[in-house]
């Protein structure tokens, strides 16, 4: 496991728990550059062949076990500790990394008005195929239309 600083409700930083999926001691410059380009709509991932994937594909820093954990989303399980601590909820926008906020437009920051979640509307609506602005629009739709029924639907769509 490792701890990573993320940004939560109202822009407050918190320590998020995850299973380690990358080799220890990696330089995060590749992700910083990717995040900047992704948020600014300048990348579709580095796979070159699939124009709708918005994540770093075949990242050499990811371990073989890490690939499995990420594919199955099991690397997210430790975040239940964050839910118990009240820093996250089961459903909500994913919490951004601190350096990602440097590239947010003002309207993007509205997604920080609620607790971040383990899963959310954008994860079940395309996950890594959704451009950043569309991801934020889905988060804002969730925030503006929140209901217990919507949370249940998102959780049920997350499990598969």
Cα(59)–Cα(47) distance, integer angstroms: 10
pLDDT number for residue 27: 67
Return the residue matching tokens 């948020």: 39
Residue 25 region by backbone torsions, left for phi larger than 0, else alpha for psi between -120 and 50, else beta: left
Cα(8)–Cα(122) distance, integer angstroms: 17
pLDDT number for residue 159: 82
Provide the pairing of β-strand 117-119 with 89-91.
Answer: parallel
What's the predicted TM-score (pTM) here? 0.80
pLDDT number for residue 21: 85
pLDDT number for residue 50: 42
Identify which of 156, 138, 85 has the alpha carbon closest to the alpha carbon of residue 115. Answer: 85
Give me the tens of pLDDT residue by residue for the chain, a chain 160 residues long. 889 999 999 999 999 999 888 777 766 777 777 778 788 887 654 444 444 444 566 677 788 888 898 888 888 899 999 999 999 999 999 999 999 999 999 999 999 999 999 999 988 887 667 888 999 999 999 999 999 999 999 999 988 7
């Amino acid at each position: 496991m490792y701890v990573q600083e993320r940004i939560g409700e109202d822009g407050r930083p918190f320590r998020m728990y995850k299973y380690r999926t990358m080799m220890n001691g990696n330089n995060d410059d590749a992700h910083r550059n990717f995040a900047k380009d992704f948020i600014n709509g300048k990348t579709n991932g580095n796979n070159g062949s699939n124009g709708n994937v918005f994540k770093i594909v075949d990242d050499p820093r990811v371990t073989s076990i890490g690939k499995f954990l990420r594919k199955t989303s099991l690397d997210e399980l430790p975040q239940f500790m964050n839910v118990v601590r009240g820093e996250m909820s089961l459903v909500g926008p994913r919490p951004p990394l601190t350096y990602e906020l440097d590239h947010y437009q003002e309207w993007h920051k509205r997604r920080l008005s609620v607790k971040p979640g383990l899963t959310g509307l954008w994860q079940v609506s395309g996950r890594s195929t959704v451009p950043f602005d569309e991801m934020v629009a889905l988060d804002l739709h969730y925030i503006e239309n929140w209901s217990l029924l919507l949370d249940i639907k998102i959780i049920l769509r997350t499990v598969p």
